[in-house]
């Protein structure tokens, strides 16, 4: 994790009000609500089947069905995409595990090889063991304390993805994004995925270092109030985003509009909360460093 204060994400009017940049798609009236409305509708009116087809094929902006997209979700996702520096955009999912499983199922298939840090979140490990291995995806585990060179040595001709979690659960090991950025340049066909849940998109933005996909369980710091279960996935480019978005509609694990509204609310206080968390953590670290035990 590269968390130099000079590189920390700064909130701006552009990030806080990112959703309003897409008014042609999701807000065609002259209203400008301070709080993003919750669109609880499941379906949307379209004037003709031709318009519906244009929306489905993404030739025209618009909405048809809430499982596919929702204005409340899109406004929230736009803010996270700006925080992450995600040129491909961000998808919201119904949980952190929905985000993890979306990425693994979208970009890995039978015969592929995954290089994965160990440990990572326990249920992500179980997903890999129970789902990926059962579907003939090969996995090589690399200890979280090992340098990036060890990850590189594990790469095979069929390796499609390297998956890391930083800070990792539960060991709190930290990876250096700049070194993994070098890995992507030496292996251009390799996807590098980062679960950054324990730092949030405020303290670290791996996509800015040349990595490809950033995952968060928004139930933790991004949500911050223990009142939502949510996840998000941000992408370095639109090609990755489009592939994952199609799979998200098939898996049916999109976030509800109500939860997206709560997450949107939480993002407004994310910088204040994370600054205070960081100050408190430093106090604890200094105390433990001086403790006799």
Catalytic residues: 67, 121, 195, 220
24 exposed, middle or buried (CB, 10 Å; 0-12, 13-18, 19+)?
A: exposed
The full 3-state SS of the chain, as one line of letters, equals: CCCCHHHCCCCCHHHHCHHHHHHHHHCCCCCCCCCCCCCCCCECCCCCHHHHHHHHCCCCCCCCECCCCCHHHHHHHHHHHHHHCCCCEEEEECCHHHHHHHHHHHHCCCCCEEEEEECCCHHHHHHHHHHHHHHCCEEEEEECCCCHHHHHHCCCCCEEEEEEECCCCCCCCCCCHHHHHHHHHHCCCCEEEEECCCCHHHHCCHHHHCCCEEEEECCCCCCCCCCCCCEEEEECCHHHHHHHHHHHHHHCCECCHHHHHHHHHHHCCHHHHHHHHHHHHHHHHHHHHHCCC
Both tokens assigned to 266: 């939480």
């Amino acid at each position: 994790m590269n968390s130099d204060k000079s590189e920390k994400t700064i909130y701006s009017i552009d990030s806080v009000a990112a959703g309003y940049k897409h008014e042609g798609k999701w807000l065609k009236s002259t209203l400008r609500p301070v709080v993003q409305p919750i669109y609880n509708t499941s379906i949307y009116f379209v004037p003709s089947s031709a318009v519906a087809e244009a929306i489905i094929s993404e030739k025209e902006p618009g909405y048809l069905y809430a499982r596919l997209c929702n204005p409340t979700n899109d406004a929230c996702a736009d803010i996270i995409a700006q925080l992450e520096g995600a040129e491909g955009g961000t998808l919201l999912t119904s949980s952190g595990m929905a985000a993890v499983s979306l990425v693994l199922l979208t970009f890995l298939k039978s015969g592929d090889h995954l290089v994965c840090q160990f440990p990572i979140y326990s249920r992500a490990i179980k997903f890999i063991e129970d789902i990926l291995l059962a579907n003939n995806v090969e996995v090589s585990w690399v200890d979280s304390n090992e340098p990036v060179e060890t990850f590189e040595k594990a790469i095979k001709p069929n390796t499609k993805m390297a998956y890391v979690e930083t800070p990792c659960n539960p060991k709190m090991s930290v990876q250096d994004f700049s070194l993994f950025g070098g890995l992507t340049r030496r292996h251009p066909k390799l996807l590098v995925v980062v679960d950054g849940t324990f730092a949030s998109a405020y303290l670290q933005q791996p996509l800015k270092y040349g990595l490809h996909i950033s995952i968060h369980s928004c139930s933790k710091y991004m949500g911050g109030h223990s009142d939502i279960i949510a996840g998000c996935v941000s992408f370095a480019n639109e090609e990755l985003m489009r592939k994952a978005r199609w799979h998200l509609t098939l898996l049916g694990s999109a976030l509800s509009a109500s939860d997206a509204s709560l997450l949107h609310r939480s993002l407004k206080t994310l910088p204040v909360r994370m600054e205070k968390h960081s100050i408190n953590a430093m106090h604890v670290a200094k105390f433990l460093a001086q403790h006799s035990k």
